[in-house]
Amino acid sequence: MSEERSLNFIEEIVEEDLAAGKNGGRVLTRFPPEPNGYLHIGHAKSICLNFGLAKKYNGQTNLRFDDTNPVKEDVEYVDSIKEDVKWLGFEWANELYASDYFDNLYDFAVLLIQKGLAYVDDSTAEEIAAQKGTPTEPGKGNQYRNRSVEENLQLFADMKDGKYPDGAKVLRAKIDLASPNMLLRDPLMYRIKHAHHHRTGDKWCIYPMYDFAHGQSDAIEEITHSICTLEFVPHRALYDLFIKELEIFPSKQYEFARLNLNYTVMSKRKLLQLVEDGFVDGWDDPRMPTISGLRRRGYTPASIREFCERIGVAKRENMIDVGLLEFCIREDLNKTAWRRMAVLDPVKLVIDNYAEGQTEILHGENNPEVEGGDGSREIPFGKELWIEREDFMEVPPKKYFRLGIGTMVRLKNAYIIKGESVVKDADGNITEIHCTYIPESKSGSDTSGINVKGTIHWISTEHAKEAEVRMYDRLFQVEDPSNEDGDFKDYINPNSLQILDKVYIEPDLANAVAGKPVQFIRKGYFTLDKNSTAGKLVFNRTVTLKDGWVKK
RNA sequence: UGCCUGAUAGUAUAAUGGUAGUACGACGGUUUUUGGUACCGUUUGUCUUGGUUCGAAUCCAGGUCGGGCAACCA
């Protein structure tokens, strides 16, 4: 493995803690998604970090749903999140929910009220915002701030008992209205929401805010290293403060820079818009940066884990080139995907000196990268073939080493041929290419002594099967759609999906199975889409092959 | 105008006071029955100004630039 890889800053912290004997050598992390959307590649970074850390240091990781806002959350999301984490190859120690702790959290709130550190405020949201001041002006208090402990206790109990409508009252921490950290200006701890919760049903009508739930949840589980993204840095003061005042397990929060990928968007809000406004075919559209989208596109768990390993973990803002993700999937699939032939844009090729009606069964390796071989399949060959339109040129430029009139090329796994003539329709489009073949040049028993520079793929017209192929490209035309003027949706790539409804594939591909990626030789990696049926195969292009041939 | 936070090749990420390295990309080459893969080589970097030091990417001070903070979201 990568034993000599240097440590990232969080691993350094863990190793220091371990060396200092902190937590008795125990490492317990957590992955805390809110079940209000599907997981995306940015979450994958966090998942790999949290679960990877635990794995590396003989610890464990809890999967904890941060479900403190019932109006936005749903079991549909819980299920998809669990599926995605599992698919990525990780196992959680415990499946937990912040809502499991609503009783504890309520008791914690009561405790803070008793300590004079929390109060019930009757102000409206607007009034509270106005009283908070601005980053440069201190906030102001109000009359509710001086309520007695007894009154606060009673009012908070009444809030819980449903005596007030939504928004009538909130519980606030009494900290410092003049703090330079806006989050410390008496933050809300609880709000009233008469809403049905996906787990606790109608038991509660008050729900804790993130800041009054997350740190305490970590503490209850005795999480040793609570890792989150940079935007939570200012929240750390609150995180530590509540833990200190409640005298509970001192979990520690550490922050890293979230992943940004170019040519896509990563916020759940924006992804939801793409889904709801029909710009994509659901959360798992192969163009989406969601885990489910990448899975449908043909990405493998190993490739995503490798990607997360390569991008590193640090505290500076970053924008990762999607090319790195593509490198990772190519690297993985090159070693595992079976090679097959498919002609995406067909033109007919006739071999003039090959006997009419003759057929041969040729053989092609499944994967030349596998040492010792990975078996082979049979490929029928005949007088008439489909080849790629772009693999022939009547007047080839100097560095073109595919087929031309008078030039030779090898048909993959078959014979060397020489272009002879073309047939065109009234518009001048080539409808047929005629060639001759060299009988002694058969793959595996070539005695022709001829060396050709190019090799092209082909399908026997008599034996060809048909399939639909979906060619995907980046969803956006600009690197950072969120940072452009106007609406990010204005920058969607109109050619992000090109459907080829009549692609010729070799007969063996009729055996293609979902979840087993194939390489269409010289074209890229493809995988069967979930819309595929026995009667109609549908392939998604995962990624092209790297193209070293740049014209001109 | 406040507070927090960060700055190393095009993009990421190391170097923890002692030779600025690695990966991806780009470019060039070798091999090749995939213009793929593999292998080899080249290219480009410490935000700025001072200071401390024999020696600074690293420590200190000022500046510049980026990100975040005033949701009954997480």
CATH topology of domain A9-256: Rossmann fold (3.40.50)
Nucleotides of chain B touched by protein CB (<7 A): 1-8, 10-16, 21, 23-27, 33-38, 66-74
Confidence class for position A3, pLDDT limits 50, 70, 90: very low
Task: Compute CA distances A254 → A25, A59, A91, A212, A475, whole Å.
Answer: 18, 17, 22, 18, 33
**What residues contact residue A110 under an 8 Å CB cut-off, 6+ apart?**
A153, A156
Residue ranges of alpha helices (H) inside A247-357 are 268-276, 291-297, 301-311, 322-336
- How does pLDDT run across A292-338, given as a tens digit for each residue? 999 999 999 999 999 999 999 999 999 999 999 999 999 999 999 99
Least confident interval from A163-167, A252-256, A394-398: A394-398
Q: Provide the b/e sequence for A21-39 (b: ≥16 CB within 10 Å).
A: eebeeebbbbbbbbbbbbb
For the beta carbon of residue A306, count every other beta carbon within 10 angstroms.
19
Q: Is-catalytic flag, A530?
A: no
- Average pLDDT on A258-273 reads 96
For the beta carbon of residue A428, count every other beta carbon within 10 angstroms.
6
Q: What is the pLDDT of residue A99?
A: 98
Task: Compute CA distances A162 → A152, A206, A300, whole Å.
Answer: 15, 8, 49
Please name which of A457, A499, A493 lies closest in space to residue A478, comparing C-alpha atoms: A493
Parallel/antiparallel/unpaired status of strands A497-505 and A465-472:
antiparallel
Indicate the domain borders of chain A. 9-256, 268-338+467-543, 342-457
DSSP designation for A26: -
- Average pLDDT on A3-12 reads 84
Query: CA(A386)–C1'(B14) in Å?
Result: 51
Nucleotide nearest to A12 (CA to C1'): B16
Q: Is-catalytic flag, A193?
A: no
State yes or no: pLDDT of A218 exceeds 60.
Answer: yes
- How does pLDDT run across A416-451, given as a tens digit for each residue? 999 999 999 999 999 999 999 999 999 999 999 999
Which pTM does this prediction carry? 0.96
State yes or no: pLDDT of A204 exceeds 90.
Answer: yes
Q: What is the pLDDT of residue A373?
A: 85
Q: What is the pLDDT of residue A399?
A: 87
Q: Is-catalytic flag, A268?
A: yes
State yes or no: pLDDT of A398 exceeds 90.
Answer: no
Q: Which of A64, A236, A268, A418 is catalytic?
A: A268
Average pLDDT, whole number, for chain A?
Answer: 96
CATH code linked to domain A268-338+467-543 = 1.10.1160.10
- How does pLDDT run across A148-185, given as a tens digit for each residue? 999 999 999 999 999 999 999 999 999 999 999 999 99
- Average pLDDT on A495-516 reads 95
Query: CA(A479)–C1'(B46) in Å?
Result: 26
Nucleotide nearest to A334 (CA to C1'): B37
- Average pLDDT on A252-281 reads 96
Nucleotide nearest to A72 (CA to C1'): B73
Q: Which residue is nearest to nucleotide B24 (CA to C1')?
A: A324
Looking at domain A342-457, which of 3.40.720.10, 3.40.50.300, 3.40.50.620, 2.40.240.10 is its CATH number? 2.40.240.10
Is the complex ipTM higher than 0.90?
yes
